[in-house]
Structure 1
Amino acid sequence: MSSTQSDVDQVSRLDRLGPAEVADVLALAGAAGDADGADPMDERVLLRLRDEHAAATHLVARSADGTLTGYAHLDTTDPDRGVGVDLVVHPAHRRRGTGRALARAVLAAATGPLRAWAHGDHPSAAALAVDLGFHRARVLWQLRRPLAAPLSEPHLPDGVTLRAFRPGSDDEAWLTLNARAFADHPEQGRWTAQDLRVRLAEPWFDPAGFLLAVESATGRLLGFHWTKVHERTGSARIGEVYVLGVEPAAHGGGLGRALTTAGLAYLRDRRGLDRVMLYVDESNTGAVALYERLGFARWSAHVNYQLG
């Protein structure tokens, strides 16, 4: 462990976090998310925080009395793409140099290119990124839609039926289809069996809400819509179009639209939700157009900054 001193808080580097430290980080992230209207760390980081075997570099900022004031997570598992960074400062401890101290500690700890997410496109994050020489490389939009608005009936192509995902039986076939559907996606297309297993073990997982489109004659998977329900403390539940993919050879037949509407109907009619969200890359104009035709509108933006 090594440390560096800021004007207010001490930033320490750790290779592992204990259960109490993980709880502190999750509480800090929750406070920041409530204040900013956007969760400050993505799902992958949260899953890795709870996995005591996951390799990562942790930078923690604490005040003189030991209070956790800021945290940065460095994901070093993909050296070809560089180090992934998520950084958050507690709302009650901002404007004191903690974010800048953490960012400088990131630069000192990391080797190679850096990829840092600013969830919610916060102005302070943008200003810090510019000051440190990062450039804006990618924008992920969160879109939302009320489920009270009319939904069209899902019209599946001839010879295609829907069924629920079967954990343990469909894993390998789904991973193969997911890799094909997201071959050009920097994260989703790289999912491994372990990535799938940890999500199937999450409390929110519901196999009935993981819809598969199959070729009736052969049982071959052609597409999927994996839905998710966020149970938020102190606010209304919201559904998510978690992952939606179609076999490239099946594009153009309306399967993506049918899967989308079927999943939305499931969230409304079976889970009793009145709103839904999804994430889509700004550059994926085809998907953005599809979702806008289905009544989704832009809610917020998440920006990926890169250095090196």
Structure 2
Amino acid sequence: MVQLTWRNGLDESEAAEVTALLSEAADADGVAPAGEHVLLRLQAHRGVVEQIEPVQADVGGSEHFVVRGTDGALVGYAHLDTAGETSGDALVAELAVHPQHRRRGIGATLIEALLERAELPADPDARSRDTEDEPAGAASARLLIWSHGQHPGALRLAERFGFARSRELWRMGRELAGAELPQESLADGVSIRAFRVGQDEAAVVRVNHRAFRWHPEQGDMTERDLRDKQQQDWFDPAGFLLAVDDSDELLGFHWTKIHPDGTGEVYVVGVDPAARGSGLGRSLTAAGLRHLQEAGCRQVMLYVEGDNGPAISVYERLGFQRWDSDVQFGR
């Protein structure tokens, strides 16, 4: 028998339990069950202006579904991103079940709770009067749930509860050790330099917004988000490469990341729309790959939208191949 409870915030001890569960699931499956933004929210808290005693993982736009066994041990968890709810956007969930407690209905319990929160019936064949004529797809979905790495258990749950594929995110990678990398080819007056902490945040956020206005997550990055990431162990300004003109105006950037296992990542490549068509994105990518290679990374990976054919073609020409993919299911 398990017990599910809802939280709008977790204390430090419970946040640590959730982080440990996510880590154990990642070790068992070879892929993290939740994205980086979930881990960042588990570490965050509201400021003292917003509440008397800041509680970890109590941040706006996050809700937590916690499942415990009869002995009180944490056996399942779901994070629900509600940031877009007030503007009519779908709720977005990510969940994990402890590897030692799978195939016992815990995943289904979490899905049912998320469906109830989204005011959707657990029975996929049940259609309310308000939704029976709506077309299927991400645009009309009330609830979106990620399956990172397309875990078989997640695929079974998606089918059982009538979720449809709405988005696919590819993970592509290539070898770096001993590889010959392409050279940068920059236009006259353009140079690449490292990010300057405390000076470049506003410019990066401005270009990021212009470059990713269409993107459901990346385009909303704020200066606070950027500064929060600067506090992470992996952050290295030397690997945050900025392309600037001769007036030091930011044209684009390549933010690289090195994972604990030594794998490099093309974390974000953003080019101001006004600078597109000049080959700047490819040159920034090449510069970042060279940085990661010189830092000792033997492999490098990146994420790209599965329907972004032009970007996939660019990465394939740079030697990347598809490794696996994450799927977002909607209802």
Query: If the length of structure 1 is used for normalisation, what is the TM-score?
Result: 0.92
- 1:127 equivalent in alignment to 2:152: no
Report the Cα distance in structure 1 between the residues aligned to 2:227 and 2:250, rounded to whole angstroms: 19
Secondary structure of 1:256 counterpart: helix
Higher strand share: 1
Q: 1:107 aligns with which of 112, 115, 126?
A: 115
Report the Cα distance in structure 1 between the residues aligned to 2:76 and 2:45, rounded to whole angstroms: 20
Q: 2:166 aligns with which of 131, 137, 150?
A: 137
Aligned residue for 2:89?
81
Aligned residue for 1:284?
308
Report the Cα distance in structure 1 between the residues aligned to 2:113 and 2:249, rounded to whole angstroms: 49
Over the aligned positions, Cα root-mean-square deviation in angstroms equals 1.2
- State the identity as a percent: 50
Aligned length: 294
Aligned residue for 1:198?
228
Query: If the length of structure 2 is used for normalisation, what is the TM-score?
Result: 0.86
Report the Cα distance in structure 1 between the residues aligned to 2:214 and 2:119, rounded to whole angstroms: 25
Secondary structure of 2:203 counterpart: helix
Report the Cα distance in structure 1 between the residues aligned to 2:208 and 2:9, rounded to whole angstroms: 31
Spell out structure 1 runs of 4+ moving beyond 6 A: none
Aligned residue for 2:72?
66
Deviation per residue, 1:84-119 (Å, 9 max, x gap): 101110111100000001111111223581121100
Aligned residue for 2:199?
169
Deviation per residue, 1:253-294 (Å, 9 max, x gap): 21111111100110111x211111110001111111111111
Greater alpha carbon shift after TM alignment, 150-159 vs 94-103: 150-159
Shift of residue 161 of structure 1? 0.2
Q: 2:8 aligns with which of 15, 32, 36?
A: 15
Deviation per residue, 1:206-243 (Å, 9 max, x gap): 11110000112x22111100001111xxxx31111110
Report the Cα distance in structure 1 between the residues aligned to 2:301 and 2:272, rounded to whole angstroms: 23
Q: For residue 166 of structure 2, what is the amino acid of its counterpart?
A: A
Deviation per residue, 1:5-24 (Å, 9 max, x gap): xxx31111112111111111
Report the Cα distance in structure 2 between the residues aligned to 1:93 and 1:141, rounded to whole angstroms: 29
Q: 2:237 aligns with which of 207, 211, 223?
A: 207
Report the Cα distance in structure 2 between the residues aligned to 1:106 and 1:238, rounded to whole angstroms: 34
For structure 2, which runs of at least 5 residues remain unmatched after alignment?
47-58, 121-141
Report the Cα distance in structure 2 between the residues aligned to 1:121 and 1:282, rounded to whole angstroms: 14
- 1:52 equivalent in alignment to 2:45: yes
- 1:39 equivalent in alignment to 2:32: yes
Secondary structure of 1:237 counterpart: coil
